[in-house]
């Protein structure tokens, strides 16, 4: 059981550790070893990712280091990963359903002439025939289906970030590292990296990793209602999310859409104001620890899977909530000069 460890110059995408956690469970069912796979530039930070993969639950790690692999490019990464698979023959290979993971998984599956289930929300093993059961939404999200690859190996799947829980890290775990060369020169690669701009500097909403998300839907009817949502978000230190209906109404940018065709979030708290809870929205946020629905219809579908409901007009309840949090937070702050 292999998990591709996605990183940018040594900064790992958390979905990789989420997949190591799930991979551990699947490997134990199959009674096989779990391996991380790290590709990257030369140097210690990349090598140390192998230790991290082991700390998060892997038994061993395959490592391919070459300056050609410093930044992600499809051609060298596809060659590197496909060569490793050819050489070591895993039964299954999991990648994050991120921009990079989706790009790489498709070309590796094509190179290896094997099947790939993209964008999974659940994984399991059928122990009777050792197949990977990959669960994902289908028919526009109205049904969940289980996809099985019976005839080719490895079985490949990409999984969305924040769908699987983060495993505990144990730096007492030990495992071994197997190195393998890339065997590709820079002048054989057709794309060149001109510049590298880290995501954190791009000032995009970091919705997928937020602990608190306040999201708005069509029920926040006027553009200024979304300002109320941003006020609440500032008070809580939350990110603002939205339903597709709100994005289509140009209330916020598409980067903030939560759901099947948007982001998957897994915050501690998700406040959904004026969102009905359609299945395509639900799949993106039902992993939240606590869901609070604000809706004027007590029979809205979101009521079936929210922990708390505030029934009423969101345009009035959102600012009331902001005010309530503001006074609670102020009261909880230690008084200046107090011991
Ligand atoms: C292939 C496909 C992919 C999709 N992907 C996504 C996706 O990623 N994310 C997503 O969100 N949707 C997605 N959708 C759309 C989805 O099916 C719903 O249409 C959408 O989620 C509805 O958004 P909404 O809840 O904001 O609007 P509505 O369904 O119109 O719900 C509005 C809610 O607000 C309530 N309301 C109205 N007025 C007030 C008020 N004054 N105060 C409080 N509550 C009020 C209503 O009771 C209602 O429950 C997708 C659809 C398809 C077909």
* Closest C-alpha residue for ligand 1 atom 28: 276
**Cβ-Cβ contacts under 8 Å for 250 (sequence gap 6 or more):** none
Write down the pLDDT at residue 338. 45
What percent of the chain shows pLDDT beyond 70? 95
CA–centroid distance, 237 to ligand 1, in Å, is 24
Name the residue of 261, 286, 311 whose CB sits within 8 Å of the most ligand 1 atoms, as the mutation to test its pocket: 261
Contacts 24+ apart (CB under 8 A), 143-147: 147/117
Write down the pLDDT at residue 332. 75
The atom number, within ligand 1, closest to the CA of 275 reads 25
CA–centroid distance, 263 to ligand 1, in Å, is 15
Cα-flanking dihedrals φ and ψ of residue 146, to 5°? -110, 125
In angstroms and rounded to an integer, the radius of gyration of the C-alpha atoms of the chain is: 22
pLDDT in tens, 129-176: 999 999 998 886 678 899 999 999 999 999 988 888 899 999 999 999
Pick from 4-13, 140-149, 167-176, 194-203 the range whose average pLDDT is largest.
167-176
Over residues 219-233, mean pLDDT: 93
Write down the pLDDT at residue 90. 98
Cβ neighbours around 183 below 10 Å, total: 13
| All structural domains of the chain | 2-197 (3.40.50.620), 207-332 (3.40.50.1220)
Look at 313 and 266; give whichever has higher pLDDT. Answer: 313
Specify the range with the lowest mean pLDDT, choosing from 86-90, 208-212, 288-292.
Answer: 208-212
CB under 6 Å to ligand 1: residues?
140-141, 217-219, 243-246, 257-262, 274-276, 278, 280-281, 284, 294-297, 300, 313-315
Over residues 57-64, mean pLDDT: 98
Specify the range with the lowest mean pLDDT, choosing from 46-50, 203-207, 234-238, 257-261.
Answer: 203-207
CA–centroid distance, 222 to ligand 1, in Å, is 15
Please give the biggest Cα pair distance in the chain.
71
Over residues 80-106, mean pLDDT: 97
* Closest C-alpha residue for ligand 1 atom 7: 259
Write down the pLDDT at residue 337. 47
Q: Say if residue 55's pLDDT is above 80.
A: yes
- CA 94 to each of CA 8, 167, 195: distance values in angstroms, whole numbers, following the listed order: 18, 16, 29
Q: What is the mean pLDDT of the chain?
A: 93
The secondary structure of the chain in percent helix, strand, coil, rounded to multiples of 5, reads 35, 25, 40
Name the residue of 140, 259, 291 whose CB sits within 8 Å of the most ligand 1 atoms, as the mutation to test its pocket: 259
Tell me which residue has tokens 């791009």. Answer: 202
Name the residue of 224, 244, 255, 277 whose CB sits within 8 Å of the most ligand 1 atoms, as the mutation to test its pocket: 244
What percent of the chain shows pLDDT beyond 90? 78
Q: Is the distance from CB of 157 to CB of 163 less than 8 angstroms? A: no
E strand residue ranges, 47-96: 60-65, 92-96
Write down the pLDDT at residue 201. 54
Cβ neighbours around 144 below 10 Å, total: 14
Write down the pLDDT at residue 297. 98
């Amino acid at each position: 059981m292999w998990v591709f460890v996605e990183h940018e110059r040594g900064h790992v995408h958390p979905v990789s550790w989420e997949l190591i956690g799930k991979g551990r469970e699947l490997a134990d069912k199959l009674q096989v070893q779990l391996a991380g796979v790290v590709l990257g530039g030369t140097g210690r930070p990349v090598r140390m990712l192998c230790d991290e993969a082991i700390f998060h639950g892997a038994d061993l790690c395959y490592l391919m280091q070459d300056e050609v692999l410093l930044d992600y490019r499809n051609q060298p990464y596809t060659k590197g990963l496909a060569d490793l698979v050819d050489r070591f023959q895993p039964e299954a290979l999991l990648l994050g359903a991120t921009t990079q993971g989706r790009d790489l998984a498709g070309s590796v599956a094509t190179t290896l002439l094997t099947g790939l289930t993209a964008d999974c929300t659940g994984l399991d093993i059928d122990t009777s025939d050792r197949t990977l059961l990959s669960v994902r939404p289908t028919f526009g999200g109205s049904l969940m289906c289980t996809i099985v690859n019976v005839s080719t190996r490895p079985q490949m799947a990409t999984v969305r970030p924040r769908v699987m829980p983060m495993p505990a890290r144990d730096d007492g775990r030990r495992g071994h590292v197997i190195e393998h060369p890339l065997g590709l020169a820079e002048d054989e690669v057709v794309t060149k990296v001109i510049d590298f701009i880290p995501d954190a500097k791009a000032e995009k909403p970091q919705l997928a990793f937020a602990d608190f998300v306040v999201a708005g839907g069509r029920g926040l009817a006027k553009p200024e209602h979304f300002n109320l949502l941003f006020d609440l978000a500032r008070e809580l230190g939350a990110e603002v999310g939205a339903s597709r209906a709100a994005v289509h109404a140009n209330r916020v940018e598409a980067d903030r859409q939560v759901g099947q065709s948007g982001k998957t979030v897994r915050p501690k708290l998700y406040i959904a104001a004026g969102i009905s809870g359609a299945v395509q929205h639900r799949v993106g946020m039902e992993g939240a620890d606590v869901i609070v629905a604000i809706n004027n219809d007590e029979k809205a579908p979101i009521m079936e899977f929210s922990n708390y409901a505030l029934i009423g007009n969101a345009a009035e309840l959102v600012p009331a909530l902001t005010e309530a949090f503001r006074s609670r937070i102020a009261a909880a702050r230690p008084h200046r000069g107090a011991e």
